[in-house]
Structure 1
Amino acid sequence: MTKLIFQETISLIKWVLFFLCIMFIFRLLFGYVCEVNGASMNPTLADEDRLIVSRVPYYLHNPERFDVIVFKSQDGRDFVKRVIGLPGDTIRYENDQLYINEQAMDEPFLEKIKSQFREPFTSDFVFGDKGNESIIPEGYIFVLGDNRQNSMDSREFGLVPLDSIQGKALTRLAPFDKLVWNVSEVTYAETE
């Protein structure tokens, strides 16, 4: 009887270890659920929204402009921000207009919210005006929160190394009444 209980216990332990290995591999390859902390991505994403974050897109290619990503900060926290500048880019904001490589760029995810402000939604700045290089070097990206007036982002902490990126935010799971399949394409109108 004791031998049978021992064998069943060993069998159960093997199944639990197998399940844990499968879950670890799934998380490593495909992604995980991440919670947004803070208001830096308002109105696109709100505090405590839950996102599915996938590593797969960045196994195939580097982040693309305007992707919403999750990355590890230097102190180990997960940050959710939007990719604005890529390696080789110059960036500046003037009169609430984004210029990348001296070409004006539309930010459709901010259009409605920007129209509600009298003053500029994004303050004027030039990447490199704090003594940094003026061109984003290889291996780095420039990120901003969509809540430009209340976001700690590359304007504060500088460039984000590509190897600190945890994945691309794909889907907003919760709150369920605001389910969105492609977070990077959410506009302000879809958050109301």
Structure 2
Amino acid sequence: MPPRNQAALDFLASRRSLPAKTFTAPVPSRAEVTEILAAATRVPDHGKLEPWRLLVLGRPALTGLADLAEARARDLGGDAEKIAKGRGQYDLGHLAVVVISSPVAHEKIPQVEQVLSAGALCMNIVSAATAAGWGACWLTGWPAHDATFCQQAFGCTAGETVAGIIHIATAPVTPPDRPRPDLAAKVTWQGLEE
């Protein structure tokens, strides 16, 4: 039997998603964010292709994005609710890491696997930030799926998409656990004895 890392399993079994809107200052320093990103980027490089890029945003940048989201919502004829949802995470955010999926033409690595690599990186950042003691929450929202907003806000080019916006800051007291998926309803077993 391979060696067991019980501490890692306990961490994953007890990790909870916390709402980013409940986060407060302080936020990790640049050195602490670098440590989180170094841990998170070790694995989802997908054959050394690294089909993603990262943008780290502090409070002043997030404030500017809130204004940009509002302007974009108005351009689209959005109502007060769309404007509020567009501004929301940027108005309330303290620090965020934007994970941009940047797939490239490759003869052996399909584009879908490259996009999934960016998603895996989002989860790794959430896990690394949580392990470092911070609150972390993976969000998107309608602006993250609007090509014009993404080009203006994040410099996204054709073919690039936002995989996630990971908010990192001080989390409130851990809330009670919520119901988890029923594995019996979600897992099908084939060829493996009990």
TM-score of Structure 1 vs Structure 2, range by shorter chain: under 0.3
For normalisation by structure 2, the TM-score amounts to 0.24
Q: Judging by fraction of residues, say which structure has more strand.
A: 1
Kindly name which structure, 1 or 2, has the bigger radius of gyration based on alpha carbons.
1
Greater relative contact order (Cα < 8 A, sep 6+)? 2
